[in-house]
Structure 1
């Protein structure tokens, strides 16, 4: 048996311990009983962002975006498609930089959309500009294989 992974619930933000070999079995949160992986990007606010990035043992892919951004809206369905293929190995989240300006400033987001990949609480890769689902997947897998 492997060491359990810490997975932050996308619903109640509780930190759950899940054996890595059981990630694909639809684990549920021990606190709220909802599924830990929904196949959809998780919208995070400033208050929730740090917990998800710092406490999660799986990589976290962040889409920094804004509702007024045309390329962000164009990329949104592709990002959702990529989410279905990346979970449960990776937590996929979205941060509205208009509503959560402190996060954008803290991470020096200069253009949107910007994807950032976090592992162990640290940013390991960043890419600005809209991408389709296949390019998102290739970009993520390329950076994770280097780790």
Structure 2
């Protein structure tokens, strides 16, 4: 059984291992559980997803950061390739400084790969979609 959080209504859903994840729909709102797009989260939303999702890739960014803005379309393209194995999230470090500090983020854009609720890998700097996908898959093993 796999857990995932609906990107539309934030309800935690359980998916049987026998059902293809991409076909999963939320039990509350009926929307698809995987949309191939990153989801903007708050610190509390990130904590909730860390408790439920097996693997997360978090882009810690800020609106004033040029490299962050340049990487945004690359991160979105990576989401389409990594879901449903990895859920991609965006955390605005300016709006959520406590959450960024919790992970000791010292430069942005920063990527945090979270597996089973723990940071498994981290990197910083502008990356292409191919680099993001390759780094995440390598870090997941």
Residue segments in structure 2 that go unaligned for 5+ positions in a row? none
**Alignment partner, residue 8 of structure 1:** 5
Alignment of structure 1 residues 117-132 onto 2, 5 Å: 117-132=113-128
Contact kept in structure 2, 1:23 and 1:88, CA below 8 Å: no
What is the TM-score of this pair, normalised by structure 1? 0.92
Distance 1:93 1:23, change over 3 A: farther
Unaligned runs of 5+ in 1: none
CA–CA separation in structure 1 for the residues paired with 2:89 and 2:48:
12
Determine the C-alpha separation between the residues in 2 that align with 1:46 and 1:24.
26
Task: Give distance in 2, aligned partners of 1:130 and 1:22.
Answer: 36
1:31 maps onto 2:17 in alignment: no
4+ residue segments displaced more than 4 Å: none
Pairwise CA distance, 1:133: 0.5
* Residue 99 in structure 1 maps to residue 106 in structure 2: no
- 3-state DSSP class of the match of 1:20? coil
